[in-house]
Chain A
Amino acid sequence: MKNLLRRASPPSKNNFAMKKQNCRTNPTNEITVRSDYLNNSEGLSCEINTSISVRLVRAVTSPVPFFFSLKNSSFEKTISMAGCSFRAIWILTPHHSVAFSRTFPVVERRWRSACARDGEVETQAPLPSDLEVAAAFTDRKQREGSAHGFGIRVASSTPGSDSWVDDPVTRHIITLHINREEAEGYMLWPVIVHTSGNYYILVLPLVEPKKVREYRKLYQRNNCGGSVKEHDDLSSLLLSLPCITGAFMVAHAIGDLIAGETSDPEVVATSSSSAVGGLLDTLTGSIGIGVAPRPKPTSVPILASASSAATLMGSTLVDSSRTMTKPIDKDLLRGFISGSMPYGTPVDLNQNNIAAIRTTGFGSADPPPADLRQPAWKPYLYRGRQRVLLMTQETINAALYDREDIPDSFSISGQINCRAELEGLPDVQLPLIGVKPAKVKMLSVHQSAQYSDHGEDKQAIVFSPPVGSFVLARYQVSHATNPAPVKGFYQLSLVSEDGGQFLFRLTLMEGYKSPYCMDFCTIIMPFPRRRILSVDGTPSVGTVSMTERSIEWKIVTSGRGISGKTIDATFSGTVRFHPRVVNKSLSVSLSKSVLGCTAAEDSDEERESSNNSVNVEDVLMEKLNRDLEAVDLEEPLCWRAFNYAKVSFKITGGTFSGMTIDPKSVSIYPVVKAPVEYSMQVTSGDYILWNTLARSPHAAVPKDLC
């Protein structure tokens, strides 16, 4: 405890400066002081239940001056609502009952005083109860068609609904109408919605009442919708509210927590002797107490981009996995919330940091460095064997058409994952090779890093690594130096309503030499709207299996990766489906809600179109398309409307873009001898072979890229 207190109070010199800063003077001689800590006794009782959180807060925010807000003081008038605080967090089950809720009285008090200052009487209503939130959420779902809503204005939208604002972001930033029997109802905005593991996470950040008013104007506007050119539009509102972005960060952090996902990126150690663990392992290893070291995995196989790609496919292929709901570990959640956002203000959302502080605290073994500033995001310093693990991960999204009128399109996004197990607070310089030829665009780097671009092949990233695995940089490549790892075409011709012939002709790993190695390659032909009866045909390579809704062709199976050779694979055959069962009710109800019209002429349309079309396939597609549902705005396209084959593969030993890191030229300051291990892998994202014989989605390529 003594130790903690010592840590909690910054050096006295700084402390003094802060006190001086407490009073802010401006030319109009107003003084603004504020405090979230002392103003609110009711908040204290629940917040300061662990000294650790206080310590963390101090550690994180120590350079920030404390402003004190004084009750009954005229100075309150100038309180700024900037910054990021949350009034409440709710977690709703799939059935729209509140599974968890947390309100922050400190923030609520600020909200109310702001309302009083602005003369907003109606918004001073107390926060809704859990039941009211659940009812309001259900109500909105009914009004807006789904839990997230339409997102853009449809025929059934009315003023006073989110879709009226006509922006996709309203699927994520929603309005709740709280209806009260005994009193006036009111609207709650902005409520951030994030879905994770079937739970809806709702976060209500604190914004100035006038911003709520501005939004209300937008969403009750009586004209046909805003344009970017109008200054009072949603965009400028969102730009002026960083707390919304903060709320999303929190929502995602909570979402990861309740879904049991870690946000750690994958880092693969190439030498089998070395072990890679999480932050906790590092800590426990170094401190040597309590928790026995877990079995060391060679990789932590969760990747943000990969998971998003999986969701894309999941919606088309597997529906059953999404219905499972894991119960919430409320203790864990409470601990996380009070640790990461004391008093409703987020300080550090790193799950590992919070968990580590919670479980281990700070021991005498890790005193703060005397001469260096320890960053707030690195509460612990690493101690142990030093090494640097680097990994480049690239994901290829490709649309292969094999048509003259549409060029194939590739987009490669990559990231550099890093795990620098280095003692102290060193700086690491990481030169990048092949940036220019690959036309790499650096999208973002870690907070601790700086990207310097000094001409031809002199690009480097300098960073001071945090503890544990992290994504050092993300980039996008518009022009890859390597050929496509899987080339060829897929043709499917529906010869009758219940059957079709297909043909694949593919070339794998052409132009790739060792050490490139294809770990696996699988092709899936999904038929989400048909039930497959049988598949005939034998591929030249690999095995074929069939499920009810898809055909899977394993060309290269994992464990038997191919390296240094080219594979030609062909597969032709026929597929038969069960007879189609028309289900009109869904499409009709959708068309009603979206278009505001009935599809009363269905029978007419059917006959009419069958008269007009000559091609059997067109007729079939058109018939099928009539039952299509509208997809969510999160989807890139209506997958079900197309015939395609999706290629999944993984290639190790190199990058697709050609951009690499030379492990030997990684320099560390202060100089230490630490081995640098570097691995590379390329995985497929949406690697789609569109049916050459049918319509397929594509996008225009800007002229300067042609």
Chain B
Amino acid sequence: MPLTPFTIPQIALSDQNLVLSPPSDVNLREIRRVLAFLLDRPRDLTPGAISVLTSALVDIADALEDCVPAVSALLKVNFSSLLSSHNPFLSHSILSLYRHFSEAFNEYDIGKVAYRLQLSASDTGQKLIFRLLALHWLFGSTLLTSQVSSLTSLPGFYPQVFDPLAVKAKKLDAISVSASEGDGAVSLLEDGLVCISYFRWLPGWSTETLVAFRAMHKLLIGVMPHDGSDNGPGRTRLGSLMESTIFADLENVLIHLALEHHPLVPVIATFISRLLQCETHSPIGSRFLQTLDRCLIPNLKPGYGLSFYFPLLEKISENETVAPKGVLELLKRHMVCLTDEHGPDTGHRSWSQGSRVLSICRVMLKKHKGSQIFRPLSLLLAFTCQNFPDLEVRDNARIYLRMLACIPGKKLRQTLSIGEQKSGLAPAPLPASLIDVPPHPSPDLKKSTGIASYIHLERLKPPLVKQSWFLPVQGSVPALSNGSGPAEGGIMDIVTSVAPSSPDESNKTDSSKVAYQKEASRVMDPNTALLLRVLRTHFGCIPDYRVMPGIKIRIPCLLRFESDPFIRTWGFESCDEQTLPALYAIKITFSTLSKYGKIPSCRVPFLLGDLLKSDLAIVAVGQGNDESIEHSNFAKVFLELQPEDPMPGLIDIFINANTATEQVVSGFLRPVTIGIEDMFLKAILPPNVSDMWVSRYYSDLFDTLWEACGSSVNIGRETFPLNGGKGAVSINGKQSVKFLEVPEDVLINAVERHLAGFVVRVAGASLVKVVQQNRVIENIVWDEKEEEEDDLDVGPSGDDFSAENALVAYSREESELDVEYTQAEMESNSNDRSLAIVDKKKSVGNICVLIFLPPRYHLLFLMEIGYGSTMVRMRTDHWPCLAYVDEYLEALF
């Protein structure tokens, strides 16, 4: 049973809800008397009692406002003088009256209160906490805060030298707040910061530094407070804040601090990350980073001093709105510098700095899209893993490089963040998702159909002849792949004789053929035997592609894709215009109907889309020796053919790739055309030919082959074993002529441009002079002394051959050749032309061209160059190629 005074009216003790009538006049009179009694006595009370009294009065006056007006005015009269008491408790109690009855006080009163509070904040005799509280009271009331800006001109808010740092911090708040209205904010703040200006050279962890950066932060958020519930003003002010002079000035302050006082760099980083973590102010933080990236990074020098800036570089790396290029380039220069300066006593420093650079790279890998960082980062990592003095750093760089090149973006980020999971915090979700192999995403067929229109695999050097007429072969869709091309059967005759279908059979035939061939050679005359020996040596160098790796042709191609249609199709989400889409883990497989052997597929780890804006030039291919890092906006791919039949053809291309969003791109690209000139190779040089005899060897070989392809009678049945010892071939030569009606200088230019590597001999003094002057064709046999005989239309080569090598006189054969030439000429060209040639007496000279066609064929040109026209005599042991050569020669000009 609680004790209750007997004077309490019963009505107050009952539990029922009471309905009381409004106070009567008598009541009110009594109440007024009581109030008058109370209001008369504040000076007689202790501070504690006044506190109780004021809080009670607030309630009473609230309740009586209607019945007894002017209560608040009475309060003012009786209490306001107590505000100047140096008992803070008392002051605070009185302030709470001001707070409740603000309408009773005019602006002058409020101003006086604000002034008084500001004075007490400067009262050095007062205890620190009460000085702080005075400032809080001042800022706590909207009425009083409005007075703060008018008080700014007063000295009260300028911190003094011996103000405790806590007071300095709060006074700086006041400066920030009042300053945030006007333009001179930063200068006011800087004035204020003078009192702790020594933070610039104190260690970054000093309290002064904290206070200084807190003041800057307060200034910023004073201009743009957190919007809280109403998200209206904050958002709209963001833009205007970024344009304001306050912001620009603050940026300058920060850049200056970072440049001049490097111990402060970590503090600046902390400052910015604080903004970044805030929902409202993260754009400001990003903006700061962008500015630093623009204005600070270019001014930094690589070297050991750069380590001060690592915290800032890390922040910039973490931020997705800042292009990482600047930082990465700086870091690359830094690594170069570290490598250069490495000495016996810098082992530890190299390790520590290298590791920190790598940790920034790691952040980059995690935070940025592969497309943005790939090139600069791969260059940096490649340099590091090749050249950096510290082994561990090198190893790590290699791992990062491998990850960068091989793991698509999303997965890479997951992989990198595994280690950062705190052990206590539910480690399950992330690793589990990695351990479980996710279901392979099925390729989106609909999206993949049109990829040939924007993903291109193109030859670096297009073929001279647009082979439009082997169209029957071009129907290279899989449905047709079973059928064999009509031209194929015709070629087989030679090949089948050399290459039996089963190895056993071939062994037998080979051995029998070798026996037969030895037999046959015995009956040859010595000249022919010499000829055969040259041929045997030559063919002995040609690998038999059936039993050993054959001769390969590498055709450089470029793989690229257009960003715009790619984004349209695959919905690539990009955070800004500069971001390009990328393909990961590209696999290109080739197929063809032509006999090019098995074409190995290519892999491109990463490919960036074409630049969206045309003003940015395509970056040149990097010179790194590792193929995987040669990337910019296209990838170099080599088509590797091992032709079994030197024919032009088409190669179908199938692509498989991942997008950054883990979609699968797959489909056919436009086929690549292979021209006859792609088959052109230099003849293989036997190993025992010394350098000085190379040109002579080729010249001799030309003559021999010329002979062999022409005089099929003598060596027609002769077989020549290939390298590998399991196959042999015989020569079945054909010849043809082509009349080219072009001036000699044009022809020489064309030969120098397209056939320079295959020229084995130039004859005729004037021609030799011209060609030697051009210095394109070198290291061949120059034949100047035959000038006189150049007059002869026919058979200079034979003469050359005989004269130079003194092998045998070929008078009969020459005549035979003559006849054959004429016949061939008649067949392939018009009579008029041949007559024209005859008319042209004067010839400039001859060019002999020896072309090897893989796997084992040859094409020989003997170009008789005259003034205004040229007769090209062709001989080959692979007659189907003649058809293409004809077009090729025409396309040369």
> Which chain A residues in 1-55 approach chain B with CB under 8 Å?
14, 17-27, 29, 31-33, 35, 38-39, 41
Asked if A222 is at the interface (CB within 8 A of a chain B CB), the reply is yes
Closest chain-A Cβ to B167's Cβ sits at a distance in Å of 8
- Bitwise, A653-669 to B at CB < 8 A (1) or not (0) is 00000000000000000
Which residues of B have CB within 8 Å of A252?
127
In the complex the two chains form, is A476's CB within 8 Å of B122's CB? yes
In the complex the two chains form, is A63's CB within 8 Å of B41's CB? yes
In the complex the two chains form, is A224's CB within 8 Å of B221's CB? yes
Q: Which of the residues A411, A445, A471 comes within 8 Å of B160, measured between beta carbons?
A: A411
In the complex the two chains form, is B84's CB within 8 Å of A65's CB? no
Q: Which of the residues B27, B128, B140, B168 comes within 8 Å of A235, measured between beta carbons?
A: B140
Please, which residue of chain A has its CB at the minimum distance from the CB of B35? A21
Asked if A361 is at the interface (CB within 8 A of a chain B CB), the reply is no
Asked if A447 is at the interface (CB within 8 A of a chain B CB), the reply is yes
Asked if B194 is at the interface (CB within 8 A of a chain A CB), the reply is yes
A588 to B275, CA, bound (A): 25
A128 to B122, CA, bound (A): 38
Which residues of B have CB within 8 Å of A238?
133, 136-137, 140
Which residues of A have CB within 8 Å of B153?
702, 704
Please, which residue of chain A has its CB at the minimum distance from the CB of B98? A239
Closest chain-B Cβ to A477's Cβ sits at a distance in Å of 11
In the complex the two chains form, is B304's CB within 8 Å of A604's CB? yes
- Bitwise, B271-293 to A at CB < 8 A (1) or not (0) is 00011011111000000000000
A300 to B12, CA, bound (A): 54
Given known pairs A171-B166, A603-B349, A695-B198, the reply for A443 and B52 (CB within 8 Å) is no
A-B contact list, 6 entries, CB within 8 Å: A168-B169, A194-B129, A238-B140, A239-B140, A242-B96, A248-B88
In the complex the two chains form, is A587's CB within 8 Å of B205's CB? yes
Closest chain-A Cβ to B23's Cβ sits at a distance in Å of 5
In the complex the two chains form, is A685's CB within 8 Å of B124's CB? yes
> Which chain A residues in 363-389 approach chain B with CB under 8 Å?
373-377
A169 to B177, CA, bound (A): 18
> Which chain A residues in 211-244 approach chain B with CB under 8 Å?
222-240, 242-244
Given known pairs A411-B162, A415-B125, A630-B205, the reply for A225 and B221 (CB within 8 Å) is yes
Asked if A596 is at the interface (CB within 8 A of a chain B CB), the reply is yes
Asked if A152 is at the interface (CB within 8 A of a chain B CB), the reply is yes
Which residues of A have CB within 8 Å of B352?
600-601, 604
Please tell me the number of chain B residues within 8 Å of chain A, measured between CB atoms: 150
Asked if B880 is at the interface (CB within 8 A of a chain A CB), the reply is no
> Which chain A residues in 152-185 approach chain B with CB under 8 Å?
152-155, 166-169, 171-172
Which residues of A have CB within 8 Å of B62?
26
Give the segment of B211-219, B238-246, B762-770, B806-814 that binds chain A.
B211-219
Which residues of B have CB within 8 Å of A445?
84-86
In the complex the two chains form, is B141's CB within 8 Å of A236's CB? yes
Asked if B684 is at the interface (CB within 8 A of a chain A CB), the reply is no
In the complex the two chains form, is B47's CB within 8 Å of A686's CB? no
Closest chain-A Cβ to B394's Cβ sits at a distance in Å of 20
In the complex the two chains form, is A411's CB within 8 Å of B305's CB? no
A152 to B3, CA, bound (A): 49
Closest chain-A Cβ to B208's Cβ sits at a distance in Å of 6
Given known pairs A21-B34, A65-B34, the reply for A451 and B84 (CB within 8 Å) is yes
Instruction: Please name the 10 residue pairs, one residue from A and one from B, whose CB atoms are nearest each other, closest first.
Output: A82-B55, A239-B140, A444-B86, A26-B63, A224-B278, A168-B166, A235-B140, A699-B195, A29-B20, A346-B48
Closest chain-A Cβ to B45's Cβ sits at a distance in Å of 5
Given known pairs A229-B222, A240-B96, A603-B349, the reply for A590 and B4 (CB within 8 Å) is no
Q: Which of the residues B11, B132, B154, B279 comes within 8 Å of A702, measured between beta carbons?
A: B154
A41 to B3, CA, bound (A): 8
Which residues of A have CB within 8 Å of B141?
236, 239
> Which chain A residues in 34-84 approach chain B with CB under 8 Å?
35, 38-39, 41, 60-61, 63-65, 67-68, 70-75, 80, 82-84
Interface of B with A (CB < 8 Å)? 2-5, 7-9, 11-13, 15, 17-23, 27, 30-31, 33-34, 37-38, 41, 43-49, 51-56, 58-60, 62-64, 66-67, 81-82, 84-90, 92-93, 95-96, 99, 119-120, 122-130, 132-133, 135-142, 145, 153-155, 158-170, 173-174, 176-177, 180, 191-192, 194-198, 201-208, 210-211, 214, 217-218, 221-222, 225-226, 228, 263, 266-267, 270, 274-275, 277-281, 304-305, 307-308, 310-311, 349, 352-353, 356
In the complex the two chains form, is A169's CB within 8 Å of B140's CB? no
A228 to B64, CA, bound (A): 34
In the complex the two chains form, is A249's CB within 8 Å of B88's CB? yes
A477 to B83, CA, bound (A): 20
In the complex the two chains form, is A60's CB within 8 Å of B46's CB? yes
Please, which residue of chain A has its CB at the minimum distance from the CB of B206? A630
In the complex the two chains form, is A348's CB within 8 Å of B44's CB? no
In the complex the two chains form, is A31's CB within 8 Å of B165's CB? no
Q: Which of the residues A308, A478, A697 comes within 8 Å of B155, measured between beta carbons?
A: A478
In the complex the two chains form, is A697's CB within 8 Å of B56's CB? no
Given known pairs A601-B308, A604-B304, A633-B166, the reply for A395 and B85 (CB within 8 Å) is no
Closest chain-A Cβ to B273's Cβ sits at a distance in Å of 8
Which residues of A have CB within 8 Å of B191?
700, 702
Closest chain-A Cβ to B345's Cβ sits at a distance in Å of 11
Asked if A705 is at the interface (CB within 8 A of a chain B CB), the reply is yes
Asked if A278 is at the interface (CB within 8 A of a chain B CB), the reply is no
In the complex the two chains form, is B55's CB within 8 Å of A347's CB? no
In the complex the two chains form, is B161's CB within 8 Å of A587's CB? no
- Bitwise, A390-408 to B at CB < 8 A (1) or not (0) is 0000010101000000000
Asked if A628 is at the interface (CB within 8 A of a chain B CB), the reply is yes
In the complex the two chains form, is B203's CB within 8 Å of A625's CB? yes
A39 to B1, CA, bound (A): 10
Which residues of B have CB within 8 Å of A31?
11-12, 18, 20
In the complex the two chains form, is B210's CB within 8 Å of A154's CB? yes
In the complex the two chains form, is A447's CB within 8 Å of B140's CB? no
Which residues of B have CB within 8 Å of A153?
214, 274
Which residues of A have CB within 8 Å of B51?
83-84, 242-243, 246, 346
Which residues of A have CB within 8 Å of B41?
63, 373
In the complex the two chains form, is B132's CB within 8 Å of A169's CB? yes
A235 to B33, CA, bound (A): 37
A74 to B191, CA, bound (A): 57
Give the segment of A90-98, A526-534, A540-548, A635-643 that binds chain B.
A635-643
Closest chain-A Cβ to B312's Cβ sits at a distance in Å of 11
In the complex the two chains form, is A697's CB within 8 Å of B140's CB? no
A350 to B87, CA, bound (A): 12
In the complex the two chains form, is A595's CB within 8 Å of B205's CB? yes
Which residues of B have CB within 8 Å of A75?
12
Asked if A482 is at the interface (CB within 8 A of a chain B CB), the reply is no
In the complex the two chains form, is A239's CB within 8 Å of B305's CB? no
A73 to B846, CA, bound (A): 127
In the complex the two chains form, is B27's CB within 8 Å of A625's CB? no
Asked if A129 is at the interface (CB within 8 A of a chain B CB), the reply is no
Asked if A357 is at the interface (CB within 8 A of a chain B CB), the reply is no
Please, which residue of chain A has its CB at the minimum distance from the CB of B86? A444
Which residues of B have CB within 8 Å of A686?
162
A238 to B338, CA, bound (A): 55
Excluding A172-B129, A239-B96, 11 further A-B contacts by CB distance (< 8 Å) are: A26-B62, A29-B20, A31-B12, A61-B45, A64-B56, A80-B55, A238-B136, A447-B87, A595-B205, A637-B162, A685-B124
Q: Which of the residues A68, A373, A625 comes within 8 Å of B5, measured between beta carbons?
A: A68
Which residues of A have CB within 8 Å of B120?
443-444
Closest chain-B Cβ to A376's Cβ sits at a distance in Å of 5
In the complex the two chains form, is A636's CB within 8 Å of B177's CB? no
Which residues of A have CB within 8 Å of B160?
409, 411, 699
Which residues of B have CB within 8 Å of A72?
15
- Bitwise, A604-647 to B at CB < 8 A (1) or not (0) is 11011000100000000010011010111111111001100000
In the complex the two chains form, is B203's CB within 8 Å of A626's CB? yes
Asked if A318 is at the interface (CB within 8 A of a chain B CB), the reply is no
Please, which residue of chain B has its CB at the minimum distance from the CB of A63? B41
In the complex the two chains form, is A697's CB within 8 Å of B166's CB? no
In the complex the two chains form, is A636's CB within 8 Å of B8's CB? no
In the complex the two chains form, is A74's CB within 8 Å of B15's CB? yes
